[in-house]
Amino acid sequence: MLEIGISLASSTSTPGAAAGRHLVAMARAAADAELATLSLGDHHVVGPPAGYFQNTPSLGRLLAEWSPTGRPAGCLFLLPQWPPVLVAEQVGTLATLHDGPFVIQTGLGSAPSEFAAMGRSPDHRVSVFEEGVRIVRELLAGETVSSQRFGFDDVAVGLVPERTVDWWMGTGNEAGLRRAARFGAAWYAGPNTSPDEFARLVDAYRNACADHGTTARVMLRLDGIVLDDGGHAADLADRAIARGYRGMARDAVFAGDPPTVAEQFATWAERGVDQIVTRPMGLGDVDDLATIGGLVEVRSLIG
């Protein structure tokens, strides 16, 4: 059965406290809607006029709304930009505050400006990523860890999750999918993945999982808007795409009334997606909350 989760948009052009109130309201609405997962993204040096809610402190606040559901929550970490011990400490803290499973979503990152601002280099980011995954996994399992690459010996963290941490790895190429399969991670497919590209990559991922004896799980991020007035939703999406929304093509987002979006989601389920991680497009506070409410009907229509 297809699950529907949510990744809240961390980027905002709304000033200060009002943006924070809206983020909390969306988390509360997602909890009331009984969506499958709650997560936040990961970017840095997002300057004026936009602002960006950093993931770990934001999730700490949002867990007050979400944690009573007992459903998974987590953050995306572009791991080569982070000291892995810090990631383990942050995740261990959040997982201890949460009443459900924790999800670490990961990716390599690509923006040179973000790497530079974080004091990191994009060079050798694949090997840095793999070493980072090893360190975080072992620390969160309560082990004492050393790393020649990161230059430390005999490190341990005191707060570790009581439940197994789930890993989702974002990638758009077969090498990354083989890596996800080897680590036993879900594939976190990006919102610009076309149906043809998805068909090729999902087969590669499932074959790699079979080779490594791991379980294939497929999560797909999709941005969009669901309103009772499907024509208005489509018009809002059209205008946002024309303004350059996240560099996406129109067919990469979902838009319409609940029956229309349910058909779109059902097609992705037939292609092998286990969970669609939705993101309201931020086209207005009221429309964001209406979209979350509309996803309840979408889920019921899918069955």
Q: What angle do CA 293, 299, 303 make, to 5 degrees?
A: 155
In this structure, is residue 26 part of a structural domain?
yes
Which residues constitute the domain of residue 87? 3-217
Is residue 274 in some structural domain? no
Asked if the structure places residue 163 within a domain, the reply is: yes
Count of the separate structural domains present in the chain:
1
Q: Examine residue 282 and state whether it is found in any structural domain, yes or no.
A: no
Rounded mean pLDDT of 55-82? Answer: 97
Q: Is 42 inside any structural domain?
A: yes
Determine, yes or no, domain membership for 291: no
Provide the CATH number for the domain around residue 12: 3.20.20.30
> Does 78 map to a domain?
yes
- Note whether residue 257 is domain-resident: no
Mean pLDDT of 88-110: 96
The pLDDT value given to residue 182: 98
pLDDT for 4-37, tens place per residue? 999 999 988 887 899 999 999 999 999 999 999 9
pTM of the model: 0.96
